[in-house]
Amino acid sequence: MFYWLVKIVLRPLFTLLFRPVVTGRQHIPRRGGALLASNHLSMTDSLFLPVMTRRRVSFLAKSEYFTGGGLKGRAKAAFVRGTGLIPINREDADAAAQSLDEGAESVRRGGLLGVYPEGTRSPDGRLYRGKTGTARMAIDTGVPVVPVAMVGTDRVQPIGKVLPRLTRVAMHFGPPLRPPMPAVGSAARREQARAFTEQIMAAIAQLSRQERADVDCATHKRTRRASSTAEPMSTSSELPSGP
């Protein structure tokens, strides 16, 4: 009930403020399970996508959204639970696998599940290498993957900013991608999941027109943070000379 109340309130508000351009919405199945595989530019992606989609959409979301302290943290946790988000612990492989199982079960029951194959938000607008979880869920359940491109949401709420900016956004849905039949053997399944992941990311890139980066996004962020906090060593040749 809370989900539909939020959707009813936000849809006309978003339409007025952000004037979203939506194309390819007919590619979303009218019924039955499917994965909506989107690029990820902003926290607002998880609002724009379900609000501007007729069917209910659940999302896998990082577990930190569900564990905040204080009044603000509890309010955020209540909101994300009410809007159908499924917590995923990205730091614990076993917990992450369990979350993927929950996501797979939701599409087996006929639901729509929004996923971000990059695993985290792009820090610079490029499209990073996809993780194989989305492909593995699709292969295991047999549901189609609808590629989605979010455009302009990084300008609505840039990373680190709290208040949104009123700027136009777009969402483009591509034709559904049918997963292959599960391969036999663990090595073959890994190769199959990686190949289907590449197919998904190529479809997203075609819709979004983003530059692609063939590196893991989370690894890139950690490397960038480490390099930005490292202090350069001073040498005598770097000191200003006297008058």
pLDDT for 243: 35
User: 72 phi and psi, to 5 degrees?
Assistant: -65, -45
Q: pLDDT by residue (tens digit) across 87-101?
A: 666 666 666 677 778
Domains and CATH numbers, the chain: 31-220 (3.40.1130.10)
Q: Distance between CA atoms of 163 and 156, rounded to whole angstroms?
A: 9
pLDDT for 190: 96
The predicted model scores a pTM of 0.84
Task: Name 183's Cβ contacts closer than 8 Å, sequence gap at least 6.
Answer: 189, 191, 192
Please say whether the beta carbons of 59 and 85 come within 8 A: yes
Centre a 10 Å sphere on the Cβ of residue 200 and count the other Cβ atoms it contains.
24
Take residue 207 and report the two structure tokens written for it: 């819709």
Question: Which stretches of the chain drop beneath a pLDDT of 70?
Answer: 1-2, 61-69, 72-84, 87-96, 229-243
pLDDT for 227: 76
Mean of the per-residue pLDDT values of the chain = 85
Q: pLDDT by residue (tens digit) across 223-236?
A: 887 877 665 544 43
Please say whether the beta carbons of 14 and 20 come within 8 A: yes
pLDDT for 76: 62
Q: Which helix (H) or strand (E) holds 174?
A: none
pLDDT for 1: 65
pLDDT for 80: 65
